Chain A
Amino acid sequence: MRIVVPIKQVPETSAVKMDEATGTMIREGVEAIINPLDLYAIELAIQLRETYGGEVVTISMGPPKAALAVREAIAMGCDSAVLISDRAFAGSDTWATSYVLSAAIRQLAIESGNVDLIICGERATDGDTGQVGPGIASFLNLPVASYISKVDEIVNGSCHVHRLVEDGYEILQVQLPTVLTVVKEVADPRLPTLRGKQKAKKMDLSVWGAAQLTVEADKIGLNGSPTRVVKIFRPTVARNCEKFFALDEQAIHTAADGVVEYLRAKELI
């Protein structure tokens, strides 16, 4: 079983600060971490390797400092890693990112054998789109099973999975190779081990740029991206919280009346 886990390095969300004057995000000094939702994908991949054998390769597209993220994935137990990094990739939207990552997965298959499974986190906590997992599948002409909460087993070249949808769980049989995107329920991420950390530190990290991949220049980076961000601004949180201090019996009734009045005014009851 050969599994690829594409991950993304993101700013730690709770540390995001905004420049009030320009309305842009201040990235300096903000800690960069593995997208928290990718940890579930890494954990599932390692568990599947423990059950079925094989190897787990993690890849990440990003600036050189994203090397930290892939080394951390190695420390958790991934077997090898490739950093996909090139100035030519800068400014890629989800279309161009899916294109580059799919080209990297093709390259992995050429260099070291077929890929059976590609496991992605549901979405990244910064961009929040959830589009790259299905996008990779589309470029590779593979099926994609999204929002996977459980993998029952892999038999006869198919995996049996549970897919979390609005009103329950679909039980699906998916032919390999395939892309899965997973939700938190799928696994409980382990912490890096000391041995893993040492391995990650010593590892020679492969870095692939546009020259190492079969990609067309007009499909990567900002130029290859169909979408453009034209404005970034701060949401106006115009909520002046009306506070009731409900510390005794009478105040509780006053507060509850206040809520009922509000709900009536807003036609919510």
Chain B
Amino acid sequence: MEHKGIWILAEQSAGRVQRISHELLTRGRDLADKRQAELTAITFGHNINNEDLQELIERGADRVLAMEAPALEHFLVEPYASCMLYMITRYHPEIIIAGATSTGRTLMPYVAIKADAGLTADCTVLEIEEETGNLLQTRPAIGGNILATIKTPRHRPQMATVRPRSTRPAQRQAGRTGRVEHLEAPSEMLFSRIKRLGFVKSQDEHGLADADVVVSVGRGIKKGENLKIIKPLLEAMECALGASREVIDRGWLSYPHQVGLSGKTVNPKLYVAIGISGSIQHLAGMQTSENIIAINSDPDAQIFRVANIGIVGNLFDVVPVLAEKIRQARSC
């Protein structure tokens, strides 16, 4: 059986298509052009905004396959997987990529098992091996200490998850054409043994995984109440707040802020490490950031090994000056 076409999983929340979907279109368009194949965005939800679906076309999709039902409003692994498998068996795509999000990292392995497909997590580079059409998937492993390139020689589809923020969203081209197809979800596929009872939104305005800029604090901050010193910087940068493990273990910030091996892996455009020495566990969670700035009083701190710019000094003196200069630079 011939497997053809590149698919991306477009994620929606409350009926609105999420940014990760546009990033995946950048990856998907590149692969589709190399394979001279059609690019399809698949999506599951309920009452998905129609203009958002059209926007997927304007940003590079040739086709949108949307499956909608009340049971698909929120991510639930069983109905999402059943519906995705239904689409896969019907259309036989060659490649499927999804975001390495809480949804993508749960749904993709569940589907890959049943689809008998190869799956590679958290890819940073995707290329095509021309003669075979094999997807060459490069990903960091062992806490970012090595990179591995992985391929799936025989099984199709080839599946991969891609880190959020590792690509720019595809540009919107007004007037670009394609087709939006609404598929009916067969009712027997909507069965779920998991029920969503509610949702507690996090207090923070900017989620770590989704931020362009992350400012993180470490033990150098000395006390929980000293966090106020970085507030002007957070406001000037419009960024998410991260922290090293020590800060979490001392209870100065909650776990969702933790960056590192036992916390989140982030790769924003800019990572600012304040008072963080740079243990290997912390570096594992942030060293793939595009730009890194570190402030630490110890000139030999490990964090400077991965930084583009390092300031050796007392953070309590440096941070207020830096915040003010950035604020001024942004307001003019």
Q: A135-B113, A139-B113, A257-B325 are in contact. Are A229 and B256 (CB under 8 A)?
A: no
Q: A134-B77, A173-B195, A260-B325 are in contact. Are A13 and B281 (CB under 8 A)?
A: yes
Q: Is B262 a contact partner of A37 (Cβ separation < 8 A)?
A: yes
A-B contact pairs, 11 of them (CB 8 A): A14-B279, A129-B122, A137-B110, A143-B193, A164-B256, A171-B197, A227-B150, A239-B305, A241-B308, A259-B293, A268-B291
Q: Is B200 a contact partner of A168 (Cβ separation < 8 A)?
A: yes
The contact of B152 among A18, A184, A227, A244, by CB within 8 Å, is A227
Q: Which of A162, A184, A256 has the most CB of B within 10 A?
A: A256
Which of B33-41, B55-63, B178-186, B205-213 participates in binding chain A?
Answer: B205-213
Check: A178 CB closer than 8 A to any chain B CB: yes
List 4 A-B pairs, minimum CB-CB distance, nearest first: A226-B118, A246-B313, A138-B113, A129-B121
Q: A237-B306, A262-B308 are in contact. Are A231 and B148 (CB under 8 A)?
A: yes
Q: A143-B193, A160-B197, A252-B313 are in contact. Are A263 and B307 (CB under 8 A)?
A: no
Residues of B within 8 A of A231 (CB): 148-149
Q: In chain B, residues 116-131, which have Cβ atoms closer than 8 Å to a Cβ of chain A?
A: 116-122
Residues of A within 8 A of B305 (CB): 237, 239, 241
Q: How far is the CB of A16 from chain B (nearest CB, A)?
A: 5
Q: A144-B77, A172-B197, A256-B325 are in contact. Are A130 and B105 (CB under 8 A)?
A: yes
Q: Is A230 a contact partner of B201 (Cβ separation < 8 A)?
A: no
Q: Is B318 a contact partner of A243 (Cβ separation < 8 A)?
A: no
Q: Which of B114, B261, B309, B325 has the most CB of A within 10 A?
A: B309
Check: B227 CB closer than 8 A to any chain A CB: no
Tell me the nearest residue of chain B to A232, going by C-beta: B148
Assign chain A's interface to a size class: 35 or more
Scan A241-262; emit 1 where CB is below 8 A from any B CB, else 0.
1111111000111011111101
Check: B198 CB closer than 8 A to any chain A CB: yes
Scan A206-227; emit 1 where CB is below 8 A from any B CB, else 0.
0000000000000000000111
Bound Cα distance A173, B307 (Å):
44
Residues of A within 8 A of B292 (CB): 239
Bound Cα distance A165, B201 (Å):
10
Q: Is A244 a contact partner of B155 (Cβ separation < 8 A)?
A: no
Bound Cα distance A264, B197 (Å):
46
Tell me the nearest residue of chain A to B118, going by C-beta: A226
Q: Is B196 a contact partner of A241 (Cβ separation < 8 A)?
A: no
Q: A135-B113, A167-B207 are in contact. Are A229 and B150 (CB under 8 A)?
A: yes
Scan A13-54; emit 1 where CB is below 8 A from any B CB, else 0.
110101000010100000000001100000000000000000
Bound Cα distance A125, B145 (Å):
11
Q: How far is the CB of B74 from chain A (nearest CB, A)?
A: 8
Residues of A within 8 A of B201 (CB): 167-168
Check: B234 CB closer than 8 A to any chain A CB: no
Check: B218 CB closer than 8 A to any chain A CB: no
Q: Is B258 a contact partner of A184 (Cβ separation < 8 A)?
A: yes
Q: Is A16 a contact partner of B155 (Cβ separation < 8 A)?
A: no
Q: Measuring CB to CB, which residues of chain B are less than 8 angstroms from any residue of chain A?
A: 74, 77-78, 81, 101-103, 105-114, 116-122, 136, 140-155, 192-202, 207, 209-210, 213, 255-256, 258, 261-263, 269-270, 279-281, 284, 287-288, 291-294, 299, 304-313, 317-318, 321-322, 325-326, 329-330
Q: Is A16 a contact partner of B145 (Cβ separation < 8 A)?
A: yes
Q: A166-B101, A256-B322 are in contact. Are A125 and B143 (CB under 8 A)?
A: yes
Q: Is B213 a contact partner of A242 (Cβ separation < 8 A)?
A: no
Q: Is B150 a contact partner of A147 (Cβ separation < 8 A)?
A: no
The contact of B261 among A11, A13, A165, by CB within 8 Å, is A13
Scan A160-189; emit 1 where CB is below 8 A from any B CB, else 0.
101111111111111100100001110000
Q: Is A138 a contact partner of B146 (Cβ separation < 8 A)?
A: no
Q: Is A263 a contact partner of B270 (Cβ separation < 8 A)?
A: yes
Bound Cα distance A234, B213 (Å):
26
Residues of B within 8 A of A127 (CB): 141
The contact of B255 among A13, A125, A185, by CB within 8 Å, is A185
Check: A202 CB closer than 8 A to any chain B CB: no
Residues of A within 8 A of B304 (CB): 241, 243
Q: Is A258 a contact partner of B280 (Cβ separation < 8 A)?
A: no
Bound Cα distance A241, B279 (Å):
17
Check: A58 CB closer than 8 A to any chain B CB: no
Q: Is A227 a contact partner of B151 (Cβ separation < 8 A)?
A: yes
Residues of B within 8 A of A153 (CB): none
Q: Which of B106, B213, B263 has the most CB of A within 10 A?
A: B106
Tell me the nearest residue of chain B to A128, going by C-beta: B141
Tell me the nearest residue of chain B to A183, going by C-beta: B255
Tell me the nearest residue of chain B to A133, going by C-beta: B109
Q: A125-B143, A228-B150 are in contact. Are A174 and B199 (CB under 8 A)?
A: no
Q: Is B198 a contact partner of A171 (Cβ separation < 8 A)?
A: yes
Tell me the nearest residue of chain B to A137, going by C-beta: B110
Q: A98-B113, A232-B146 are in contact. Are A246 and B202 (CB under 8 A)?
A: no
Residues of A within 8 A of B146 (CB): 18, 23, 25, 232-235
